[in-house]
Amino acid sequence: MLEAALTPLLLTLKIAAWATFLAAVAGVAAGWLLARFDFAGRDIVDAMLLLPMVMPPTVLGYYLLVVLGRRSALGHWLETNLGLELVFSWKGAVIAAAVVAFPLVFKAARAAFEAVDRNLESAGRTLGYNELTLFTRVTFPLAWRGIAAGAMLAFARAMGEFGATLMVAGNIPGRTQTMSIAIYEAVYAGDDALANYLVVIASLVCVVLLVMASAIVKRGHLRLQRP
Amino acid sequence: MRTWIGVGLMFAVASAPAAGQELVVSAAASLTSAFREIGSAFEAEHRGVKVVFNFASSDILLAQIAKGAPADVFASADQDAMNRAEADHLLQPATRRDFASNRLVLIVPAKAAPVAVTELAALSQARFRRIAVGSPQTVPAGRYAKDALERAHLWAAVAPKLVYAQNVRQALDYVAHEEVDAGFVYATDAASLPAAVKVAFDAPTATPISYPIAVVKDSRNRAIAAAFADYVAAASGQRILARFGFRVP
C-alpha cells in the first residue's frame, strides 16, 4: 500500500517543485514588468496572462498538446534539436502544471512589486546601486513575502493539477501518473480504499509542506531585511 | 541549510531509466483492471518487453494520438473514436479488429424495492425521478443510452429526468450511493459493485457494443505492438477479459 502511494507522491513533488520554480521565475519577471512599466495595452496583457485560470484544464491541456506535440513545429523542433519529448513525459507534466500555476505567482508578484515604496528604490539609486543590485538588494527583498505567498499557492495548485496534465503527460504509472491521476485511476478501477488512502496522503503532505514553507518564509523575511 | 537540501531533493527525485523495449498502450479507462492483468501476462511471455499503459477516456486518447503522442497501441471503448482515428490516417492499415464486447444495462440501487423493472418504458413512471447517464456528448455509454431511449420513443419523456455524468464510473457511483433511482452503465461496471447495485435488465442497443484495438501508425515498435494486439484478441487475452465481465466480440 505504501509503495502504491510513494511512486506517485515522489513524482508529484518533483513535478510540482519544477513547475513552481518555472512559474515563479516567469511570474516574478512578468509581475515586475507590469508593475513597473505602464505601456499601451497593459491591462489586456494582464488579463491574457490570467487566462490559464479561466480555461478548463482539459481545454488548456489540449492547447498545450497542439503546441507541444510531435506534429507541431515547436514540438518537432524540440525533439529533433534538443531530444526533448514532452508529450507522455514528466517534463510535459511540469509544463502543464507550470502554466496552470503561473497566474497565481504572477498576480501576487505584481501586487507585491506595486506595494514597494518607490522612495526606497530612489534612495538606493542615490547610494550608487545599478538597476540589477537595486532589484536584488531592495525591490525583491521588500516584495519577497508576497511573491512567496503566491509561490506557495502555485505549489499547492501544481500538486493538485489534473486535467491539463492528463492531456499532455498521460496516465502512465511510474512515469507520469501523479497523485491526482492515481486517485482518478483508483476511482475508475473501483478501488475506493486506495483512492481514499491516496487522498489522505496527498492532503497531509501538502499541508506539512506548506506549513514548513511559510515558516521558512517568515525567517527568510527577517534575514533579508537586516542588511 | 537542511531545508535547502530538502528543496533540492524534491527537484532531483530520479525517474527509473527505461530498459529494454517499451510498448505504450493507450487504452480506454473502462479497460483498466483487465488490461493491467493482460499487460503482466504479456510481459511474462515476451522477455525484455515492458508494457506501459496510458488509461483515459477514448476521446482524450484520440486527441493525444492525433497530436503525435508516442503511443504504440490504441484500444477504444467505442467504434466512434476508432473511426475518427482511421479517417485521420492515424492507424497502421489492417491492424484494427474488435476484441471484446459489452452490454448496456439499467441498474438500480441494490436496496431498491424489489419491483420488477423489465423494460425501458418503466422509466417514464413517476417513481424514477432521477436517472444517471454518461453525457452523450463525450461518453460512449451515454451515446448508447440516448440511442436506446430514442429508438424506444422515450427520449422526450425521460430526458428531463437525466443526470449527466462525466464518465460511466460516475453514473455507477450515483446509483451506488442512491443519489439517483436508476442509471445506465456497462455490464462490466455493474459487475464491479455487486453489493451496491443490481442489474434490472439489458438495454437494447442498435449496434453491438464492441471494443476495437489497432496499432498506431507512428509506432516505433510495430512488431511488438501487433503482437500485443494479437495477444489481446487471442484466447490468452480473452480469458482475462472474460473474468472482468467482457464477452467475445
pLDDT 10s digits, A165-202: 999 999 988 889 999 999 988 887 778 899 999 999 99
Q: What pLDDT shows up at residue A50?
A: 95
Q: Is residue B150 part of a domain?
A: yes
Question: B142 and B75 in one domain?
Answer: no
Average pLDDT over residues A11-22: 96
Closest-approach residue (CA) in chain A for B194: A190
The count of domains in chain B is 2
Question: B95 and B36 in one domain?
Answer: yes
Give the DSSP H/E element, type plus range, for residue B147. Answer: helix B140-151
Indicate the residue of B10, B53, B70 with minimum beta-carbon distance to A87.
Answer: B70
Question: B153 and B76 in one domain?
Answer: no
The yes-or-no verdict on residue B15 having pLDDT over 50 is no
Q: Is residue B116 part of a domain?
A: yes
Chain A residues with beta carbon closer than 8 angstroms to that of B66: 71
Q: Is the pTM of this model over 0.90?
A: no
Indicate the residue of A11, A71, A212 with minimum beta-carbon distance to B68.
Answer: A71
The yes-or-no verdict on residue A158 having pLDDT over 90 is yes
How high is the ipTM of this complex?
0.75
Average pLDDT over residues B133-158: 90
Question: B194 and B111 in one domain?
Answer: yes
Contact A190 B192 (CB under 8 A): yes
Q: What pLDDT shows up at residue A174?
A: 86
**A26-81 tens-digit pLDDT:** 999 999 999 999 999 999 999 999 999 999 998 999 999 999 988 888 988 998 89
Question: B191 and B113 in one domain?
Answer: yes
Least confident of A39-53, A106-120, B14-28: B14-28
Percentage of chain B modeled with pLDDT above 70: 91
The domain containing residue B147 runs over which residues? Answer: 104-202
B239: domain CATH number? Answer: 3.40.190.10
Domains of chain A: 2-53+102-161+171-225 (1.10.3720.10)
Sheet holding B182-186, edge to edge: B162-165, B131-134, B182-186, B104-109, B197-202
Q: What pLDDT shows up at residue B3?
A: 59
Q: Which residues contact B107 (CB under 8 A, 6 or more apart)?
A: B172, B175, B182, B183, B184, B185, B190, B197, B198, B199, B200
Chain B residues with beta carbon closer than 8 angstroms to that of A16: 10
Chain B residues with beta carbon closer than 8 angstroms to that of A190: 33, 169, 192-193
Between A219 and B33, residue with greater pLDDT: B33
Closest-approach residue (CA) in chain B for A75: B68
Which of B3, B5, B64 is the best substitution to test chain A (most A C-beta atoms within 10 A)? Answer: B64
Question: B119 and B196 in one domain?
Answer: yes
Q: What pLDDT shows up at residue B59?
A: 86
Average pLDDT over residues A122-145: 91
Give yes or no for a contact between B169 and B29, defined as CB atoms under 8 angstroms apart: yes
